A and B are shown apart, each in its own frame.
Chain A
Amino acid sequence: MSDMIREDGRKFDELRPIKIEAGVLERADGSAYLEVGGNKILVAVYGPRESYIRRLLEPNTGVIRCRYNMAPFSVGDRKRPGPDRRSSEISKITADALRPALMLENYPRSMVDVYIEVIEAEGGTRCAGITAASVALVDAGVPMKDIVVGCAAGKVNDEVVLDLSEVEDKEGQADVPIAIMPRTGEITLLQSDGDLTEEEFQKAIDLAMEGCMKVSELQKEALMRKYSTE
């Protein structure tokens, strides 16, 4: 049962090919570019910088703001530009997923801005966005407890599988994206969409955790590559 081959030829616990590059933008404080399967995501980080929005300012710590945006040409049919219900949600959950890892106590009254631009989308962009954003945050020199990493698992054809593609996401029965801090295994994001039994849900989380650990290694590699080869 477990050696079933998926639509795109992957095994049930196989990730799509991933490419991560840190520090790709000249003008941003930190940046990262990430490809997972057909996803192409660019993240820019600015800050910590002076908070220009008074009401967001915290007197004892810094704050993080995220903006997730999909390019109009990122999907099959043209996406109407601008924020919508979905991207507002992802912006919020991304900020929430990253916040526990950040140590902004030394930068009170400041703000860190994270801009996630999806250039091409092929399923699993929120996890890919989180993965890329944390690489960009490290590149920006923001103090962090750990490098947050995101990965999804789901249920397709009554089988729990790792890292859903767009087709699997649409035709599958469930999607469970999670984000974790790999050193401690703390979960910072957990969503679930679709029907899963308790057993399947547990299996999906375990699988996604495993996937996160693999992606985490790639994140570290990307960061080390940026600075050690010169």
Chain B
Amino acid sequence: MIYVENKDLVIPGQVLADDECYPGRGTFKEDGKICSSLMGLVSLRNKKIRVIPLKSKYVPKKGDVVIGKINDVRFSMWDVDINSPYSGILPAFEVFGRDKKELNKVFDVGDVLFLRVIDVDEVKKAKLGLKGRGMGKFRGGIIVDISPTKVPRLIGKKGSMINMIKDKTNCKIVVGQNGLVWVKGKEDMEQLTREIIHMIEAEAHTSGLTNKVKNKLYLAIDGELPVEETEEEFVLEKPKLQNFKEELEQEEREQAEAEAEVEDEAETEIKDEVEDEAEEITEENEEKDAESKPDLYEVIEELKKKNQNKKDKNISFSDNSNNSFILNNR
């Protein structure tokens, strides 16, 4: 017996289902009942119940791309703040191999870097590296802080949301999975982007958000609303629960399909922008949540094989993600 529906808002301690389901992330089992341990939205698939939190702290995971700030320079490594309960370290040899150089001349305290989590040890300390496209130090720009759970929403399906913001504001935007977003552009556009990002964070669980953001962007930059068919959608100010569910389901499906494409592109396109990298990876994570369609499963299997053939360091992590994806589906 399942007491909740997909995309329902639940609170900690709420009974979600009886024994017949499998407890997933954000839930726990007690006396044969599955209960939520978080405040969030229910995700029900193949008798597996999960709760996707509204707010959470970033816990480092191998393969993630994050934005971090140098906290301290030590003898052979940097201490990095990655907006998480756990700090990260960037060993010197990850930056310049076996050469000995003075560390504080390369990165100093306060520098903001785009990094990849190479490994997470048993005390959850994250070992970071710079291997990958666009990894390294940011020059200029601003940092916007959002909840890590809102990152997929900020990127949108196929990166629709983030690309729209990028196109309209002419800003460079990099999204780290730890909820930090780097924005660089004209000063007023940076501020506008910050506002927009915060708006997305605050309203991430509502429907019709893409249109709302679109309208706000057009209003702020062109001084008028876009002339397209967005008018209708915009009237829907108070989200109807049913529509919301359908929309999200639809979104998930599309995302799952889109993901396969994105992955393919990624293999052919060697030179790409930093921003896209971040998106790809985030979408990939999203996709783990996505539907388990039989044909998709095949696609992933294929991809996995491809990735295994290609012993490139850059994609070694995505290999990993695919593995966990498959595990999730079984």
Contact = CB atoms under 8 A, between A and B. Distances in A.
Interface in B1-42: 9, 11-13, 15, 26, 28, 30, 35, 37-39
A138 B12 contact: yes
B54 A183 contact: no
A230 B59 contact: no
Contacts of A59: 123
B56 interface: yes
Given A49-B85, A141-B56, A143-B38, A230 B12 contact: no
Interface stretch (B198-206, B269-277, B305-313): B198-206
Interface stretch (A106-114, A155-163, A199-207): A106-114
A145 B11 contact: no
B53 interface: yes
B57 A48 contact: yes
Interface centre among B12, B26, B57, B202 (most CB of A within 10 A): B12
Q: Is the interface of B mostly helix, strand, loop or mixed?
A: loop
A183 B53 CA distance: 20
Contact of B39 (A103, A108, A227, A230): A227
Given A47-B85, A183-B15, A230-B202, A223 B59 contact: no
B85 A106 contact: no
B86 interface: yes
B3 to A, nearest CB: 13
A144 B9 contact: no
Contacts of B26: 143
Contacts of B186: none
Nearest to B149: A141
A104 to B, nearest CB: 10
A42 to B, nearest CB: 19
Nearest to B239: A230
Interface string A199-230: 00000000000000000000010011001101
Contacts of B202: 230
Nearest to A141: B55
Given A48-B57, A141-B54, A183-B15, A223 B39 contact: yes
A176 interface: no
Interface string A162-203: 000000000000000000011110000000000000000000
A187 to B, nearest CB: 15
Given A48-B57, A147-B13, A220-B11, A138 B39 contact: yes
A183 B31 CA distance: 12
A66 B15 CA distance: 28
A101 to B, nearest CB: 8
A117 interface: no
B87 interface: yes
A96 interface: no
B55 A29 contact: yes
B101 interface: no
Contacts of A184: 30
B124 interface: yes
A146 B13 contact: yes
Contacts of A62: 85
Contacts of A108: 123-124
Contacts of A220: 11
Contact of A144 (B12, B56, B57): B12
Contacts of A139: 39, 55
Given A106-B59, A139-B55, A224-B9, A144 B37 contact: yes
Contacts of A182: 13
Interface in B83-100: 85-87
Contacts of B205: 227, 230
A224 B38 contact: no
B13 A183 contact: yes
A30 interface: yes
Interface centre among B37, B39, B147, B203 (most CB of A within 10 A): B39
B35 A183 contact: yes
Contacts of A106: 59
Contact of A145 (B37, B59, B203, B206): B37
A139 B56 CA distance: 10
Interface in A64-114: 101, 103, 106-110
A151 interface: no
A54 to B, nearest CB: 13
A50 interface: yes
Contacts of A34: none
15 contacts: A30-B55, A49-B57, A59-B123, A107-B57, A108-B123, A110-B85, A138-B12, A141-B56, A144-B13, A145-B13, A145-B37, A182-B13, A228-B9, A230-B202, A230-B206
Interface of A: 29-30, 47-50, 59, 62, 101, 103, 106-110, 138-141, 143-147, 181-184, 220, 223-224, 227-228, 230
Q: Which 4 A-B pairs have the closest CB atoms?
A: A146-B13, A141-B55, A144-B12, A110-B85
Interface of B: 9, 11-13, 15, 26, 28, 30, 35, 37-39, 53-57, 59, 85-87, 123-124, 147, 202-203, 205-206
